[in-house]
A = this chain, B = another copy of it.
Amino acid sequence: MKKRLNIGLVGLGCVGSTVAKILQENQEIIKDRAGVEIKIKKAVVRDVKKHKGYAFEISDDLESVIEDKGIDIVVELMGGVEAPYLLAKKTLAKQKAFVTANKAMLAYHRYELEQIAKNTPIGFEASVCGGIPIIKALKDGLSANHILSFKGILNGTSNYILSQMFKNQASFKDALKDAQHLGYAELNPEFDIKGIDAAHKLLILASLAYGIDAKLEEILIEGIEKIEPDDMEFAKEFGYSIKLLGIAKKHQDCIELRVHPSMIKNECMLSKVDGVMNAISVIGDKVGETLYYGAGAGGEPTASAVISDIIEIARKKSSLMLGFETPQKLPLKPKEEIQCAYYARLLVSDEKGVFSQISAILAQNDISLNNVLQKEIPQSNKAKILFSTHTTNEKSMLNALKELENLQSVLDTPKMIRLEN
């Protein structure tokens, strides 16, 4: 096997430059997990002068990454549809591996590329929901299953807007402005709020699950722009939330695909997915429901997915890989050094001064109280004291509990539960 894999990176925008940064910052684990060193040999950009300080060659000659025999994988992060499609075709024709984050291009040209690729690897994990490994889940994790249906929050911008409308009674207009102000929505937000971006992703996932060659124009796509605070109020009243969903269902004789705002019951995991986060719930005929949640966009999550594809192309083994052969093996943290917040339950005699005894012990052990509930037990001289603390360490807490147990007014061994952020 080769000792080194060379990347030709096309595009050095937000995702492209982050791919370069992570390949540098995490180079040790990436080398271990890939089994070979992974290096960017050349990056292609529109304006060479704008990109300085990189350790690799910068060029404006797109053809050169295809022609360069020293480049093993072409990584396309340029955006657009037709230019990247042409690049993909030429790369695959040379049986060179191709990795892309380009959902719009795949929404239009995935079947043509599949034809050309044959057994040449194409990685496209980053094209759907950024850092969530949903492509690999469908291709690998759920491979024993017929996919009965899936539905997902596939667009972070619209989910942020809907979350703001739901939580803060914001109007659509104000929530959109807020999203634009925070950089979650573009100045022209049409692709996101009208469901086009979500539809691109739905088409790619549906191709994986069902092999259906559906086009954007053939499926039901509605955006979130007509939703009003009244709708949110109705949803709250009857136990729903409103999410922009991409939905796919397999029927006996056809596949149903649609993107539109949906009311979903509060009990459903997807209803909890707020802000810019994405999630996809998949129903397999054998595995039942599985759900995948994470950041659907952003430089680092998307670059994480791009690099996972590069690593997958690089390696071909599947033994245990404990610690991915991490170079730096760390020892186990001793139990008593664990730090967290705590909750405790005490049974006490209901008399004066008990609580001040308790709080004195906590203070001596450097533990500060957070929430407290005191409950008398009727027809007895007993009470329960339930409290939670701010962060402290296990040793202090165990010590305090032992001291509490020794108090005459504490009638039973105190019970404790840790709090987890």
CA distance A265 to B272 in the complex (A): 13
**CB-based contact A208/B321 at 8 Å:** yes
**CB-based contact A330/B210 at 8 Å:** yes
How many copies of the polypeptide does the oligomer hold?
A: 2
**Residue A69 interfacial (CB < 8 Å):** no
**CB-based contact B139/A332 at 8 Å:** no
Residues of B within 8 A of A333 (CB): 249, 251, 254-257
CA distance A332 to B250 in the complex (A): 9
Pick the contact of A110: B141, B258, B320 (CB < 8 A). B320
Pick the contact of A330: B113, B255, B273, B319 (CB < 8 A). B255
Q: How far is the CB of A152 from chain B (nearest CB, A)?
A: 11
- The range of chain A's interface size is 35 or more
**CB-based contact A343/B231 at 8 Å:** yes
Chain A 253-293 interface mask (CB, 8 Å, partner B; 1/0): 11111101111110011001100000100001111111111
**CB-based contact B338/A258 at 8 Å:** yes
Q: How far is the CB of A52 from chain B (nearest CB, A)?
A: 24
State whether A303 and B144 are in contact (beta carbons under 8 Å apart), knowing that A294-B290, A322-B110 are contacts in the complex: yes
State whether A258 and B335 are in contact (beta carbons under 8 Å apart), knowing that A272-B269, A420-B263 are contacts in the complex: yes
Q: Kindly report which residue of chain B lies nearest to residue A106, judged by CB atoms.
A: B320
Residues of B within 8 A of A30 (CB): 143-144
**Residue A371 interfacial (CB < 8 Å):** yes
CA distance A354 to B231 in the complex (A): 20
**CB-based contact B417/A262 at 8 Å:** yes
**CB-based contact B290/A290 at 8 Å:** no
Residues of B within 8 A of A242 (CB): 417
Query: Known pairs A131-B288, A133-B136, A255-B333. 4 more at Cβ < 8 A?
Result: A29-B145, A231-B417, A291-B291, A313-B318
